Amino acid sequence: MDSHGKGLLEMGDRWRNSLIGGEVAYNWGRSKEQPGESPNDTVSDPVHRSFLIDSIRSLHCTQLRWVADYDQTDPVARAGAEEVQKAFGYRFVLEQVRYPRRIDPGKSFAVTFQVVNTGSAPFYYEWPVELSLLEPDTGHPIWRGRFESVDIRTWMPGDGWDSSRKAYTQPALVNNVRGSFTLDKNIKAGPYYLAIAILDPAGNVPSLRMAIENYIAGGRHPVGKIGVGTRAETIQLAPGDFIDPRTDTTLRYYPYGISKG
């Protein structure tokens, strides 16, 4: 941070449109002081881990190599690494979603949501945001629409990291998103799950996950129940409806030019 990091800080707002990354050097210079003697040492020791997180936050880092070689079977190292991972890159927290309990085939309706980037960097690609209706039993989308005029590259994190307060002096702003949609006329009446997802445009499939527990296999985030042709009796979803995102192995990236729908 006294040398390479200082040079990056002097670049000012370059991080807003250019990915910041690099390597955590070991067996070199003053590495025993910081960031520690090994990747395990870096993520396990509170002092080293705090130094690394402060560096990530200050420089708005998206990735750093070598430190990822920690022992994932070590519970202390794994817990520390999870804390570090939350500081890297974007971290989109969906704070609020508003929508009607009833929507009707062939008619328009509006959905709004609020999202905050609590990470250290933006997402650098213009990926679309999808709204969908899911079958409750299978999680399969029976209708899909997109929020128009939304650019997730503008969902910026905070700036001006204060290591003593462990917070940005300029906090991340709340992003308010609104979309208008028209439901297909042939949608069958009944209860559904309303879901939000961010799509990889190469395959038109969810490939970016938000930092919320409302998650099902395939990359979509159900936010509540909704009724088609009838008013939903409740919007609440059961915790058992969700899975741990870490167990989902279905997400993947598609080469550009190969469309999946």
Paired with 178 in beta bridges are 112
Q: Of 62, 85, 108, which residue is a domain's last?
A: 85
| 76-79 contacts at long range (C-beta below 8 A, 24 or more positions apart) | 76/44, 77/39, 77/40, 77/43, 77/44
Same domain, 76 and 167: no
Residues 79 and 135 in one domain: no
| DSSP states of 176-226 | EEEEEEE--TTPPPEEEEEEEEEEETTTTEEEE--SSS--BTTTBEEEEEE
Same domain, 111 and 220: yes
Taking the model in full, what pTM does it have? 0.90
In a domain, 254, yes or no: no
- For residue 87, the SS3 value is coil
Examine the domain organization and report whether 68 and 103 are in the same domain. Answer: no
Check whether 8 has a pLDDT greater than 80. Answer: no
Based on the fold, state whether residues 52 and 116 are members of the same structural domain: no
Whether 110 and 193 map to the same domain: the answer is yes
Regarding whether 139 and 226 lie in a shared domain, the answer is: yes
pLDDT at position 255: 64
Does a structural domain hold residue 256? no
Indicate the pairing of strand 63-65 with strand 92-98: unpaired
Q: Is residue 46 part of a domain?
A: yes
For residues 8 and 47, give the distance between their C-alpha atoms in angstroms, rounded to a whole number.
Answer: 23
Q: Give the distance between the most distant pair of CA atoms in the chain.
A: 68
Q: Are residue 107 and residue 50 in the same domain, yes or no?
A: no
Amino acid 256: pLDDT: 55
Q: Which domain does 9 fall in, by range?
A: 4-85
| Tens of pLDDT, residues 42-94 | 999 999 999 999 999 999 999 999 999 999 999 999 999 999 999 999 999 99
In a domain, 148, yes or no: yes
Q: Are residues 118 and 209 both part of a single domain?
A: yes
What does the mean pLDDT of the chain come to? 91
The answer to whether residue 255 is domain-embedded is: no
Is residue 252 domain-resident? Answer: no
Domain boundary among 51, 68, 85: 85
Answer yes or no: do 52 and 117 share one domain.
no
Instruction: Dump strand ranges (E) for 19-174.
Output: 21-23, 63-65, 92-98, 102-103, 108-117, 129-134, 141-146, 159-162, 167-170
Q: For residue 152, give the nearest of 190, 121, 125, 187 by alpha carbon.
A: 125
Count up the domains in the chain and report the number: 2
Bridge partner residues of 97 (DSSP):
113
Same domain, 186 and 71: no
Convert the pLDDT of each residue in 125-151 to its tens digit: 999 999 999 999 899 999 999 999 899
**14 and 134 assigned to the same domain:** no
